[in-house]
Amino acid sequence: MKRVAILGSTGSIGRQSLEVISENPDKFQVEVLTCNKNAPLLISQSEKYRPNAVVVQDDQFYKEVHAALDPLDIKVYSGENALVSIVEMDSIDIVLTALVGYSGLLPTVNAIRARKPIALANKETMVVAGEMITRLARENGINIFPVDSEHSAIFQCLVGEFHNPIEKVILTASGGPFRGKSRDELGSVTKKQALDHPNWDMGAKITIDSATLMNKGLEVIEAKWLFGLELSQIEVVVHPQSIIHSMVQFQDGSIKAQMGLPDMRLPIQYALSYPERFETKFQRFDFRNYPSLTFEKPDTKTFRNLALAFEVGKKGGNHPCILNAANEIAVREFLKDQIGFLEIPDVIEKCLNKVSFIKNPELEDFVNTDKETRIIAKEYIN
Ligand code: MN
């Protein structure tokens, strides 16, 4: 029985993680649930899964959650510090980080220091501080299991191959809702169009990132750290059907691919079940429904975010942290109709040029870079 802490249980990945746990009641037990503000859902999840403890990040919901869960003997905490320290609980066997954005960094760092294996869904943590996170994981002797479908695919291709060097990885991208569109057409796209992803049903932030190709950019940097690669070993190919989730090419030229219908429950479950595979009732892929799988080059001139992420990944230091913070602000403002779709990379470039470069950042530098970037991004937008 694995006792799981789910950070961000009310989001898309969090909810699907609970579905996976529901299907495997003899394998997993919910130990901790956390949310930002969605108190009603946290309460109903807790009534069903009976965690030992919960955290609601936003203090104003403490009373409501406490009143509902205290009678059930569930410990209730609130605030950022509680989120960061809850991961140290002795009874946690694995921490699934499904928080959105930079907010995942400190709890993940603390979980690794407490020697908890990580099921990593929060890619921004790896983007911001991949060098530090992988170093801490090594020092503490814990594994980081990818939940992101592309990285799970690569991980699955590597099982049995851990001593064979990777020549390159090929990250697949759906291309999002605006694949094939020109810059002119993108100037006037709306938030509703951007939120309408063809293959995956996800949270708002990642859906916008998919439309701008920033999601793939973040995944390039995530792959660099998870698998110890150079940027030159990472290729992005657009594959609109989202059936091949990514590929690994070895030194003999052989390519392994991991395939299946797009369903996040599979990579979530594998991150929790590794090295085993548990039976599922998920819908199976049928080749007759997909007579052709197609591939094309990403258009990085139109979708500049992907090119920016490659540049930033090469430069290193605190640049990925700047890119991430600027993107978080730009996406938020796009979702509030404050900026247009094509202005998102403008905000990011502005911040990369303005925030001072730090070659070997430590935790405190990331905290400061993140703060400074958000201020500059907001100034630029207003
Ligand atoms: Mn992904």
Span 235-257, pLDDT tens digits: 999 999 999 999 999 999 999 99
Name the percent of the chain lying above pLDDT 70. Answer: 100
On the question of pLDDT at 203 being above 90, the answer is no
Average pLDDT over every residue of 276-292: 96
- The amino acid at residue 124 is E
Spacing, Cα 201 to ligand 1 middle (Å): 12
Spacing, Cα 153 to ligand 1 middle (Å): 10
Please name each of the domains of the chain with its CATH number: 2-146 (3.40.50.720), 152-261+295-308 (no CATH), 316-382 (1.10.1740.10)
Between 199 and 79, the higher pLDDT residue: 79
Nearest in space to 3 (alpha carbons), one of 65, 140, 84, 96: 96
Nearest in space to 228 (alpha carbons), one of 172, 173, 170, 166: 166
Nearest in space to 207 (alpha carbons), one of 220, 194, 219, 217: 194
Q: What local confidence, expressed as pLDDT, does residue 198 receive? A: 82
At 202, is the pLDDT very low, low, confident or very high (cuts 50, 70, 90)? Answer: confident
| Two tokens, residue 50 | 């009976």
At 199, is the pLDDT very low, low, confident or very high (cuts 50, 70, 90)? Answer: confident
Assess contact for 11 and 44: CB atoms under 8 A: no
Task: Encode pLDDT of 143-195 as tens digits.
Answer: 999 999 999 999 999 999 989 999 999 999 999 999 999 999 999 999 999 99
Q: How many CA atoms lie within 13 A of 215 on its CB side?
A: 26
Spacing, Cα 351 to ligand 1 middle (Å): 25
Q: What local confidence, expressed as pLDDT, does residue 200 receive? A: 80
Spacing, Cα 6 to ligand 1 middle (Å): 19
Which residues sit with Cβ closer than 5 angstroms to ligand 1, an ion? 148-150
Assess contact for 243 and 259: CB atoms under 8 A: yes
**Could you tell me whether strands 118-120 and 94-97 are parallel, antiparallel, or unpaired per DSSP bridges?**
parallel
Q: What local confidence, expressed as pLDDT, does residue 333 receive? A: 96
Question: Which secondary structure element, helix H or strand E, spans residue 368, and what is its range?
Answer: helix 363-381
On the question of pLDDT at 97 being above 90, the answer is yes
Average pLDDT over the chain reads 97
Spacing, Cα 216 to ligand 1 middle (Å): 7
Q: What local confidence, expressed as pLDDT, does residue 197 receive? A: 84
